[in-house]
Each structure stands twice: as C-alpha cells, then as structure tokens.
A and B are shown apart, each in its own frame.
Chain A
C-alpha cells in the first residue's frame, strides 16, 4: 500500500512536470529553440492568478483565463523584442537571450511583488478522492492536472495535424526556408507558437501553485528546469513524449527518494536520464531525423 501511495505521489509530481514540459516541447518542436524563460512565464501566470483570486476575489477560473490572456501577450511581447531580431542568428545566441529573459522576468517580479513568499489559494480546493478506506488518496488537483494534460495534448495534436495553421507550423518546423517559399508567413507562425506556449504556461502556473502552494519570483525556475529534463527524457519535440517523460520523471524521483536516499534523489533522476539518452539519443518517443546531405 505504501508502494502505491508513493506511486501516486510520483504521478502527482510528474503530472506537474508534464504540463510544464508540454509548453517546452511544443515551442521546441516548432520553433526549434529552447525557451528557458518558460518557467518564468509560468511564475508570472501564477502571480496574475494569485492576485485575481486572493486580492480581487474573482472566481478561480476567471483568474485562470485572465492569467492566460496576460501570459499570451507576455509571450508575444517577449518573442517580438527578444527572439524575433535573432531569427537569423546562431541558435546559441537565442539560447543565451532566453536565459537573459528568464532573469529579466525573475527580477522584475522581485521588484513588483517582492521576495516574500505568498501562499497560493488552490483553484479547486484541497480535497482528495479516498480509495480503500482512505488508505490511498488522490488529490483533486492531481486528477485535474492529469485531465488538463490529456486535454491539452489532444487539442494540440488535433490543432497541429488538422488545421491550416497547424500545417503551417509543421512546415516551419521541417524547413523554414522552404515554408517561406511556399507562401507561409514564418514569422507570424513562430509568434503564434510562442503565444500558445505562453498561454499553456499560465495553466501550468495555476496548477503548479495549486499543488505546491508557495509563490515566489523563483517559483517557476527550478520546476522549469525539471520539466525541461522531462521533455528531453520523453523526446523533445514530441507532445506525447513530454507527457510520458514528465510522469516518469516524477515517479522515478519519488521512488529514488523513498527507496534509495532522499539525499541522492536528484542524482538518481539524472543518472536515469543519461542512461535513457545513451540507449535512445532522441529520448523515449523522440523521432530520429536523418540528416540528408
């Protein structure tokens, strides 16, 4: 029973990683860049939601929608001013810029909202489903996170595969130059990708802080790194891969803590990552692309 309890803890933690990883992997899949500021957009989303719910006492879902709108615009602005001018620059320059944006967001948040931790009010309360006479419990927020992951996955997959805009995204992802020649507005498509990714970040922020309710300007940074790891684990660029990678990372982390050593849990997690990447360099569900010469 303890084993199952740990497993459920792992799934709850993993579902949070998964929902953050979805945003990472989607932006990487289309724009081929690692948006290290993703974790900080999550933090901004969480703050917007916090202020809407705790200060202005709005309905949590209105707060969430508000956070999504703010984050979408934030994503568009970041893309316009930080990444767009570097469209032709080497990918390393974009990576460094992303790290810069990450610090900018963190420090702006520090100025605006101070470093005092705030306690986030859960968007759906702190209840749990009890199974086997209360031996096992699955919190509502975990269930909601998993459902949100599945819905987002399904919608994203449909969007990318079935719509014209989605087709344009896939084209950009495969070959920007050729896509441009086919009459696709590459710049607009990439901006749209960022807008969607940042909107997802707002949802991830509200769920992250509902599950683990302290909110600080650095709240998004470390879960962001973990989620990035999860995305790589599952195969970066692959949407189901991010989900699977997130869940597995959470479960491995909890099991390592429980059965090996709480001091070594991170070491075990990253050792697993190395093993997976040695065996399958593209990640669990990643696609190996052949470079044609």
Chain B
C-alpha cells in the first residue's frame, strides 16, 4: 500500500514537473567535501544564486540546478557526472577543479552534452573538444594578460620575473608572459627560478632583479613562496612594484602574515568583490546575506556561468523539451559568437577552442585589503 502511495506521489510529481517543467536542467560536479571544498562550495553557491535570481525574474526561462560531490577526484567526478546524466542533465557546468574536469570533459564530449566549467583552468580541459568551454582564464593566458596589463597601465618598462621551474602553473604563465612582453615594449631584464628544495632563500633572485634595475617584479606563483620573497626584499631594502596572478590570492589570510609586507602588491584576478558596479555589488550583497562570507573568484565564476547559459539559451530560442544533443549544437553556435557582461569581466568572449577572453581586473593591496585598481 505504502509502495502504491509512493508511486502515485511520484507520478503526480512527475506530471507536475512536466506541466510546469519549463526548466532547463543544469548539472555540475565539484568538491563539496574534503580539502578543496572551499572551491566547490563557492562555485555551487554562486551558481545557485544566479539560478534563483533568473527563476524569480519570470523572463520565460527557468533553471533547475543540481551539484554532485566529486571530492576533487577524477574517478568520483565521472560517477557524479553519470548520476547527473541519469537525472536528465541538459547542459553541464563541467567540474570545478582541473583534474576532475579533464575526466568529465571527455564524457561531455562523448555524450554531446555541452559544458561550461566555472573554474577548471588547465588547457587540457578544453583541448580537442568542441563543446567544452571555460569561464575562467586558461593558465597560460594569465601570462599574456599580465604583460598586457602592465604595458597598458604603464606600470614599468624593466621587468624581472621569478618563477618556479618545477611547477606547470608557474611555467605556463611565465612562458606566455616572456613571449608577449617584448612586443609590448616591456624589457625582461632579469629572469630567475627556484624549485622545491631551494625555495627558502631568494637573495640571489632579488639581488639580480635589483642590480639590473627592474622596476617591477612579476611573481607567477602561489602565495607561500611569494610571502618569503616579499619579506626578504624588505630586509634587503628593495622595493619594486610587485605583480602577481590569481595564485597570490590568499596571501592576506595566511596566519601570522605581516600584511604591511604586501602593501602595494598588484594582482590580476578576474573578480573583485570590492568593485562598485551594480552587478557585483548586488551579487556580493546577496552572497554575504546567504552565506555570511565574501564571495571569491570561484563563486563569481559559477554565477557568471549560469547567466551565460541564460543568455545563450534565450538567444538560441532553446526550449526545455529539447534533448541535450540538440541544445549542445545550439550552444556551440551561441558561445562562439556571443558576448557576455558578467561579474568576472566585461566583454567576455569565447574562442572556438573553448578558451575565454575577457578584460581582467587589477587589484592592489592597500591597508591589508584588496582594492580594485580601475
């Protein structure tokens, strides 16, 4: 009897969802638990806010969002992806982190389900797949964007680069930076490296930069070695401009870090929670109200992904009764031609290979907090 009641209820529910079910099913995987959970939770929460906003707008398009946990593990991500496929996912948010996303992107490609990942930044995610797109910069693009930014804002002519030569992230950014710099009138006067095991002492790298008259030191690395570099430069009495990339984000929250060391450090990230434009203010306020914290870049990426879908699906006149493959074809067409204005950048465009171009935002650290430069 109970069984029958459940079946009946399910049937009614199913009919109900058919009747009012003009909702596109968006699915994504990400680390919702474990060490990388802050990234997954942020992306999911950002996406959820966007979904709720769009659904409340009554603009003729509604979404249903479902996130599955992949604990930053490629194998679990594929299982999570399959669960979403069974649920009837029509468009996908890929995975939040790079390694799992490389695995799910292959599935997306094989199943012809369109994917737009908020934050998986490795080049392998989109490589050779016509229906996988990124919302965040692909790693190497940060290098060329940084060079462009330094040249555009006339921050310096002579630049030093210190990079970590056993880290693909650091090397990828350095390669494109050094390649792009000469064409923009930037002179790389000093280029030095470090690696695991000799990442304590930076006196040689800093002396080299100082002697060769670098006005700006570019640091494509994570914040931990960067904090040592800043401290040792201060001891030496060397005070150039410092320029970092998204790996620098986090330096201010290191326990015990003397924030005055990072005063004036410029970093390029796509999202700035202090920005005063209407969209960002609204998003940050809503996020703070719901989760009691300032949204990071991942939350903003998740938020923009849903709005990108909203725009693309509306323009393509797609309807929720279309199957994933039909939507996929329309999405490829839309994403390679449309322009999005989101919280992670204005004039967001995508190339055919799925990589994004947008105007990155400069941030500077002032009085121990991030402040927008523009």
Contacts and interface: CB of A to CB of B under 8 A. Distances in A.
Contacts of A137: 235-236
Contacts of B193: 262-263
A262 B204 contact: yes
A159 interface: no
A257 B201 CA distance: 10
Contacts of A87: none
B347 interface: no
Contacts of A121: 256
Interface stretch (B179-187, B224-232, B348-356): B224-232
A139 B235 contact: yes
A230 B270 CA distance: 45
Interface string A102-133: 00000000000001111111000010100000
A116 B207 contact: no
B201 A216 contact: no
B256 A120 contact: yes
A262 B163 CA distance: 10
B214 to A, nearest CB: 15
Contacts of A222: 196-197
B198 A253 contact: yes
Nearest to A213: B231
Given A2-B211, A212-B228, A263-B193, A119 B258 contact: yes
A262 B205 contact: yes
A13 B203 CA distance: 10
A34 B335 CA distance: 60
A290 to B, nearest CB: 36
A6 B203 contact: yes
Nearest to A216: B224
A223 B255 contact: no
A156 interface: no
A213 B254 CA distance: 12
B235 A126 contact: yes
A11 B256 CA distance: 27
A25 B203 CA distance: 28
Contacts of A120: 256
Interface in A239-292: 253-254, 257-258, 262-263, 265-266
A119 B165 CA distance: 24
Contact of B201 (A12, A213, A266): A12
B208 interface: yes
Nearest to A117: B224
B12 interface: no
B36 to A, nearest CB: 11
B207 A13 contact: no
Nearest to B206: A9
Interface in A209-226: 211-214, 216, 222-223, 225-226
7 contacts: A9-B204, A118-B254, A119-B256, A121-B256, A254-B204, A258-B207, A263-B193
Interface of A: 2, 5-6, 9, 12-13, 16, 50, 54, 115-121, 126, 128, 134, 137, 139, 211-214, 216, 222-223, 225-226, 253-254, 257-258, 262-263, 265-266
Given A9-B201, A226-B197, 11 more contacts: A16-B200, A115-B35, A117-B227, A119-B255, A119-B256, A120-B256, A137-B236, A214-B224, A253-B198, A254-B203, A262-B193
